[in-house]
A and B are shown apart, each in its own frame.
Chain A
């Protein structure tokens, strides 16, 4: 494939897996257009909120909202409480890499909104070891353990507080869809990597606790037996990031974190890993989404991509290495070795998921699992 290939509409390019341009549009824009039609801006959230209230009428809370202290989850909490009038329980997953500024945001905003706030703290030795295992595995998606940990904390909170609905503050419109080969979310994948490269064992599954090897069977327990649904309210509203930032700064005294995803101190290391080892710049799919949503011009996106992502990148990268207890020399060896794996090199749930892809499509449509899962897993 030509190394000059870049979509004329967004800034997706040849570095994206399975990237194709046909008739002056890339396959990522085509998928976006399809999803955009499936989830149009509408009043659906308000109707959904009524159903959620009924489903949780016997519980103390209507919904679990996952929060990180970043812009999106902060606004989601506001939106759920003030606009949808839901009884919210805010849940944060702490794996020892939370940005302190994000921590202050969470404490301040939950207090201001009078939202109950609980933290699910991971087993540090295990979560740290999983991070190191993913580095040793030389795969791009080194944050998979944390992403699974977050999902499992939200499910565990639902189980513990008898809540049947989870709200997530993500939108394909403003974040894009990361290619599957860059970000494969699967508890079986975590299990395989950890068994092969790690030193700390997983505890037995307990639905009330964090579970890093949250396999599809375990998700099925929460989704099908306990009836827990996952909702993405931002799919149905206009969500302009700069305007939302201004709003929550003024209304909730929210403090900006300096960069997108910077609620997590591990991000600078991830950014470095993606960029230097795999020639992946994840901003490309974020900015592409903003271009499609007309929040960013293509020219500005191309300019931004040339700039540094996060201030003090080097300092924070070293902080992460120190916190993991690994040396810079060891990290550089991993960066520079020739091994470049993806989840396809390991035993995962992917083969099973492919066999039941039409069931997954159906489960996406009824919010049992995140709606774009089908597109991400089987269309890109």
Chain B
């Protein structure tokens, strides 16, 4: 049994220190509650597509060190989305840090939205799964899970991921007060993939108002999701003003892939 803390963090655009201070409190809380892993949203430093992204650090670098120290100190694995600077390029990245403070995986988002691809980030160039202490894990980020981009999660699953973790920043219009705000935009891939591969898919999104950049004025309202074996495990609260931490218990399926080889492709409904 793995205890995973889903932290849909309130992210203030352009305010990495304030965002990190909040994240730190949740890391401590999750650790006290004996969670093995805590997951944070996409771009937990500057906020997704905030114009201040050029202040991003390298990975490894100042910001990843901050979380590496916290992981070590609090004896908890951390997966967090960070903006990454590499020479003159920027990436929408996520890292997985183990409880010893080592970065086990570093992923760069591939399916960038037009808004971010045109002016902000470069696409990533690799997919990987890796062994954490308790499961084989793959990372995808937010729009990587669009139904037309679900090939990414299919590939991670075929590469053996027991758990797919997806730091995200799902947004809606400011006047969206729907009970079902995303209308299966995110859940369809999670449901489909976990049904085929009998694995777990956890997407943690952010909270707050987007106060700059190409999608300025949209809001992030949580409703983070976890799926297992094609069924929804949990949906966190719809909220736009405060963070939420929820701990879920996951059992990793053994022999999870029932089929193998090209037979699996028959179940993939993606249309590229």
Same assembly: yes
Q: Which of B108-116, B156-164, B235-243 contacts A (4 or more CB under 8 A)?
A: B235-243
CB distance from B153 to the nearest CB of A (A): 31
Kindly state the interface size class of chain B when it binds its partner. 20 to 34
Task: Bits for B240-255, please: 1 = Cβ < 8 Å to A, else 0.
Answer: 1111100000000000
Q: Which residues of A contact B210 (CB under 8 A)?
A: 124
Q: How many A-B residue pairs have CB under 8 A?
A: 62
Assess whether A121 is in contact with B10, with CB atoms less than 8 Å apart. no
Task: Decide if A103 touches B13 in the complex (CB within 8 Å).
Answer: no
Q: A100-B242, A104-B242, A106-B241 are in contact. Are A323 and B211 (CB under 8 A)?
A: yes
B242 near A94: Cβ-Cβ < 8 Å: no
Smallest beta-carbon distance B40→chain A, Å:
15
B10 touching A100, Cβ below 8 Å: yes
Q: Does the CB pair A124–B217 fall under 8 Å?
A: yes
Q: Is A322 an interface residue (CB 8 A)?
A: yes
Interchain CB contact under 8 A, B241 and A119: yes
How large, as a class, is the contact surface on chain A? 20 to 34
Q: Does A237 contact B (CB under 8 A)?
A: no
Compute how far the CA of A228 lies from the CA of B13 in the bound complex, rounded to whole angstroms.
37
B123 within 8 A of A: no
Nearest B residue to A108 by beta-carbon distance? B242
B177 touches A118 (CB 8 A): yes
Q: How far is the CB of A103 from chain B (nearest CB, A)?
A: 3
Least Cβ–Cβ distance between B267 and chain A, in angstroms: 40
With CB as the reference atom, state the residue of chain A lying closest to B17: A315
The contact string, 1 if C-beta is below 8 Å from chain A, for chain B 162-201, is 0000000000001101000000000000000000000000
Q: Are A100 and B175 in contact (CB under 8 A)?
A: no
Are A94 and B211 touching (Cβ within 8 A)? no
Contact A319 B174 (CB under 8 A): no
Residues of chain A with a CB closer than 8 A to B131's CB: none
Known: A96-B211, A125-B216. A119 touches B240 (CB 8 A): yes
Q: Which residues of A contact B10 (CB under 8 A)?
A: 100, 103
Whether B241 pairs with A124 at a CB distance below 8 angstroms is: no
In the bound complex, what is the Cα–Cα distance between A104 and B240 (angstroms)? 10
Task: Check if A121 sits within 8 Å of B209, measured CB to CB.
Answer: yes
B243–A104 CB distance below 8 A = yes
Contact partners of A102 in chain B: CB under 8 A: 241
* A17 at interface, CB cutoff 8 A: no
User: Roughly how many angstroms separate A94 CA and B208 CA in the complex, as a whole number?
Assistant: 10
**Is A92 in the interface zone, CB < 8 Å from B?**
yes
A42 to chain B, nearest CB (A): 35
B77 within 8 A of A: no
Residues of B within 8 A of A (CB): 10, 12-15, 18, 22, 52, 174-175, 177, 209-212, 216-217, 219, 237, 239-244
Mind listing 10 A-B residue pairs with CB under 8 Å? A100-B12, A103-B10, A104-B243, A121-B174, A122-B174, A125-B217, A128-B211, A209-B175, A319-B18, A322-B52
The 7 closest A-B pairs by CB, nearest first: A103-B241, A103-B242, A124-B217, A107-B242, A96-B209, A104-B242, A121-B174
Residues on A facing B (Cβ under 8 Å): 69, 92, 94, 96, 98, 100, 102-104, 106-108, 118-119, 121-125, 128, 209, 319, 322-323, 325
